[in-house]
Structure 1
Amino acid sequence: MTANLSTPEPVETTSAGSGLSPAGPYAAAAGQYWDAGWRGVLPLPVGKKFPPPSKFTGYDALTPSRPDIQAWLEDRPDGNVALHLPDGVIGIDVDAYGDKTGAHTIAEAQKRWGTLPATWFSSARADGSGISLYTVPAGTRLATKISFPDLGLGHIEIIQTTHRYLVVAPSVHPSGDEYRWRSIDGHAADSVPSPNDLPALPDTWLEALKRTPEPGPTRPDAEPVVVTGGLMSDRVCRALSKALEGLSDVDSRHDAMTANTMALARLVEQGEPGVGDASDVFRGRFVAAVTADGSRTEADANAEYERAWTSALSKVARTPTVEVADAQIIQLADSRRAQEMTVDFPEGGGDVRLHTVADTTTEERGLAGIMLDGATFIHGEPDGVTSLWGDGDRSLWADGESLIICGPQGVGKTTLAGNVLAALISATPATALGLPVRRADRVLYLAMDRPRQAARALRRQLGSANPVDLESRLVVWKGPPPYDLAKNTRMLTELAEAAEADTVIVDSLKDAAIGLSDDEVGAGWNRARQALLASGRNILELHHIKKISADKKPDIADVYGSTWITSGAGSVILLNGNPGDAVVRFHHVKQPVEELGPWMLLHDQQSGQMAIHGQVDLIAAAASGGLTVKDAARLLFETDKPDRNKVEKARRKLDGLVRDGRLTSRVATSPKDPVTYHPITVRQEAS
């Protein structure tokens, strides 16, 4: 099958598995697929898997005409090739790379439903991942995923005319590898398959994967459900969090949207408050996602969501609530003990069975099971501080504790946080303000305060970062949260779980919770923060201070809001200056171990970098005949008359340099003379 569509100029053709022509994958192969009987032959960007042309995929997809193909050949000859499957053809997409379980899932499925016949197979990998094509009866709609949650197996999707599309040979995978076909005989193919060449999906698989109507009696004359207002309940917040998580899969956004609008509609029927707001948030995020990838216009995306939402509300009005699950845990309490009971929904139907979980102790089942004995609590933590940002006792951010960066507008809070963020996701060891930053697995950035401005600032700092790191290790929430995080104290952790993030940056705290001057709100935020930390994650918070003079040395009392905001933090940094200052003051007003600074920071707004400027070098100062504690305090705090507190802070810094082997202390011959500190000379080191 080597026929090619006519183009304005002759295009050299190649076989669909044997490499690219100078004209590119789409120009090389679109004609072959058309002649083989495929009609949804779509162009993709060069070397990418999305987005496809708008309106030619998903539900109500248009079928390209020959003039459409011809126009794409002229406009996008170098693009990759996608196939939107026709009605009656499906693809079983197995992901078996990395920690994906698709290979085990397909083996389990064949064990249950029978061996699949050999067929045409498309892949750019050599690890068993790829898509196998089969025919099904016209009009068949299957489940979009194959998974066995009880076995921890999944990572298989069913591609069909209403769900996703294939990227096919001779396209180039983002990794640089080329897509290739393998024919029914198992060998690499130099041609493309025809829909008529494909074997049928076995009946046992059809029955297992067919979508079935939601069970339950219908109410054809039911009144329409009314979406009520009010604050979102915990159930609604959890449903919204799950819905937003579903939008992360580019190829499944329509199905995720329809499934989750139905879940939200069920909560309307059950009287949960706040579903209207949740739907508005979900709609906004869905529209933003599908317009950003170019697959829909804003008008099309809004219309698509409106159809799904209206349909979901109509459906729940006609059918009573049916709780469907593999197993649910029901907690029953009496005056003596709590019993656990499971509800089992047998495979293939049958009576629902209720079981009591016997022979389980309170410790295994209840609150006592998560308590620690005294020895474990006291001796289970390491002796020193483990730092996310810092080294040893010089720590600005300790693992398992919150860091707050405070300051007035325009002094570089977001810039400093961006420097830390760049180091957190760097592929190589990195620093911020000269201190090492431990690499995070994945960061969730809550860009709630002026997100466009934050995006510009981060572009200056991360614009040259590896795109793979930005895509895989940084997730951004844009705009206000779905719920006040001080009122729904689980939502912060649920957002982090949805993003699969181990570190959260909150920009800024005033947008996360309303009414921070109220102690009840401050305590609520601290509870949300501590819940996140208890889940094994870390958090950096940006916040504001009260209006003070730019020349005043700020202290922790200048942080805006309830005292619970700083009481629950492990470290607090205060920046001060005027908006746009090139040099701002840095004060470490709450410390995990020792106080760092005070420093003057150079704020380079063009590059988005901050660095310590004019830092006092106590070792150099001690080189001129020694340094007393009071002299060190005068240098560090820029005062001729340091108070006792400043003197003691200076003493701790000098003693720390002694412990590090960089200074030595000398006791005076006269009791009236002060102790002096001196650099360790080469001779002293040698001795």
Structure 2
Amino acid sequence: MTSLADTDGPRQSADPPRYNGHVLDGTYRNDVPVLRNAGFTNIIPIPAGRKTPPPTGYTGNKDGNGHLDVSTEQSAEWQRTHGDYGPAIVLQDGQQGVDVDNYAKGDRLAGAAVEGLREIEERTGCEYPVTAAIYHRDDGSAKYLYNGTPGVELRGVICPGVETVSWDYRYLHVGINPDTGKPQRWGWGSPTTGITAEADGPIPAEQWATLPEALEAEHVAEDHGKLASLVSDEQARTWLQAMPEGPMSHLVRERLMHALTDLSGRNGSRHDRTRQHVRQLVEYGAARLPGAETALAVIDGELSELRKSDPSRASDDGEFDRLVSWAAKRCRPDVFHALRCLNRNGGRVRITREEADEPTSAGGNIIFKVFEPSEWTQAVAPPEFVIRKALTADTFGVNAGPKKSLKTHDNGAMALSIATATNLYRCEAFSVPKARKVLYIVGEGGEAPVRRTLLRLARAYGIDLNELVRDPNTPLVLAFGAAPIDGPAFRSSVLTLLDRYQPDVVLIESFYNFHPADVQPGNLYERGQLIDDYHKFIRAECEGATSLLTDHYRSTSAKTHDLDNISMAGQAENADSWITRYHRSAGDVPNGDFYLQTAFSSRQWGGTEWHVDWHLGAFDHDLGAHVGEIHWDVRPATASNADKQKPRVILETNEDRLAYIRDFVRDHPKMTKSECLEALRAATALSKATWSGVWAEAQERGLITQVRMTRPEGADGKTVTRQVWIPGDGAKTLEKDRQTWS
């Protein structure tokens, strides 16, 4: 029998909680069956009225080998021999508790714990999600429970009044609290908002929220390479070794003064404040601001003096080195340039125009990213490919094509390829250097058809779905739904997904499913701004992510990969990379054979063009889908097999031409009548005179109309009034099934 301390006497409880008719009275004998039924197995007895000691060997990380698990037999024995003790839960590896003591204690003021956690949220730009909690006070104090990353080591104290609980550090009292004599209750809440609802029983771990990695990184002392948001040990060492010498810069000197002030204080948060000062100074040094290394040495000296004069307030000899290493792994290269700009200007930003008072995404009025000779002369790294010859990391743009050009199939093929490091289309030319996390947001096509397509693509790739399910990194996540892309509901929902899954690649289809109702599709200015804002939002939340937005362009566009195809959808000016496609010849729908010409293009590396033949299998009208095994034929689009000339649209009837004009003016709101007629002539086999006659008829029938429009133009955004053409109220009559190509 494992040794246990004797009890100090019966406990006093008040209003024990009742869950599904079962009263939890705070005794090991009575409460263990309820807790085990909720999935908790490592339940240990603690002497009544006390917080310690636990049974030997079942807590902590004994000799680096972990601890014993509580067997069913051991638990039953404790129920018989120590049934009057209180129950406590030992967490599993990967589970975390955030233990918030928000009340006043010693030098710590009431509310200091939540204040410290809000500082962490502000620092990371990430909020603690609502999750399961255990509580016995009504002041926000509670233990908030999260699922995290297995194999990491937590810090313990993360700010004044807040400690972490993990599988190898502490345990969760779930009986009668020895300090207040009140029973512990289960509920829902977050560390910064407090308890928001009471639960109807112990909450199983699978219902706990997943802790966003940005917050988990704040809790971790050593991640052992498990957290993607932290730089490698090698990179951290490189930054520390490369700190420049010289007189202290303005920002470094200012930060050192704050650090020394906090070191002399007795506010109970000296250690946490020092950690943040060290973190800031290390980042300054990594950003090549001189004097950071000297400032760190001064702080180290002050801590050494504290160890001599007041050992109770000082940490051990190796603590400072651990602080520096911890800080270096959390440096943010994206702010290095901003720090250098701020430092050169005495910590202030120069504003050269009164109008430039709108903060940028960098956090100030920094418009241009300046490279001085010491910076632009440095070697430039080659593009990092997500899919070789197709898509790079850290880019944004559009996956586009006319309707019914297999864009959803292509998104699914890319998502699975990237998530599993499988060659795209099973083609060696499109190899995937490493697996990355993918978030695939779908607003069209229906949940069942898209999932069915993904399952067929997985079979085509030879992917073991069971292995995919077991992957702890959650490599591919689907999200179905639709809302205006500029609305708070969309942003909030997507932000939750980004925080939870931290994707490397975000695919969303299709734009029209997320198009705001108050933005006209033909207004390229507003449409382009929506697209640009969306990509900035994604990449601001997931640094270095690749963001692709699926969109349609007109099936009456010429069969080329010209940027004009996506420019008229508001995409070209907001794309760093773009994928376009068209049917080289009519597809064989009954047999599921489609012959596409697909181009992968980028401002970073140029692009490639391919003949991609999709074979989906025969179409089953009973199932409403293609059946059989998917396979591909892929070959480069060389000069010998490429189209010899730019094809033109054939519009066989006058009704088709009238509808074509109506669509054309909608997609080209900046063009005058003369410019439209010339463009129509160039795009078709019809003369300008013919189009002039069709134009007059379209105007007479109300298909197009002329209006005065005020809009910004030019680089300075000057507002002007123009006579422009827009679609009228006439009915669209284009007979798409008779549209052909020359």
TM-score (structure 1 length as normaliser): 0.43
Q: Which has the higher relative contact order, 1 or 2, with Cα contacts under 8 A spaced 6 or more apart?
A: 1
TM-score (structure 2 length as normaliser): 0.40
